[in-house]
Amino acid sequence: MKRLLPILLLVMIASSCKSKKNYSSKKRQTHTVKVNTNTKPSEEAETIANYAKKFNGTRYKYGGTTKRGMDCSGLIYTSFTDNNISVPRTTSDLKNFGDWIDLKEVNVGDLVFFATRKNSRKVNHVGIVTNVRTGNVEFIHASTSRGVMISSLAEKYWYFAFVQARRVL
């Protein structure tokens, strides 16, 4: 029993460290997101969202801001900077930048913020809205497990992790 106890303890510690969820590759539409689809995005917002899409498939790299590797706030920083708009570099600074907007009013180019740590509502992830249609908001972001990708707020994981939206433009 004495030899089994350290092994059991090690297994419990190792299994409890997994705090991030794997993102499903399937676009499960489990939640309807109520949004105003009558407002057209600005040309500048469309340009920023389209620029961000050029990084789709780029691997995740903490602190990265290039095609060689990108983190979530690096994607925002790079996309806005390419369009001569100065924004903070970190998610913790971005979460207070711009104007808070209700999810119903979100549009292309707006920022969406998430709390992805278990049992926490502290913002630690950000993305740029790329598409808004009835019942759905799509955004591009850099996930630690899959790199830069487009996800949907209609997906259960993102729907429940959502914290706030902000408008920079």
Of the residues 141, 154, 161, 165, which is catalytic? 141
Of the residues 72, 94, 148, 154, which is catalytic? 72
For the beta sheet containing 125-133, the strands, ordered from the edge strand earlier in sequence to the opposite edge, are 99-101, 162-167, 111-114, 125-133, 136-143, 147-152
Query: Three-class SS of residue 95?
Result: coil
Task: Assess whether 72 carries a catalytic annotation.
Answer: yes
Of the residues 106, 125, 148, 157, which is catalytic? 125
| Residue 90 · residue 99 · CB < 8 Å | no
Q: Which of 66, 49, 50 is nearest to 58 (CA)?
A: 66
**The dihedral of CA 16, 21, 25, 26: what is its sign?**
positive
Task: Assess whether 141 carries a catalytic annotation.
Answer: yes
Task: Assess whether 125 carries a catalytic annotation.
Answer: yes
Q: Which sequence positions are flagged as catalytic?
A: 72, 125, 141
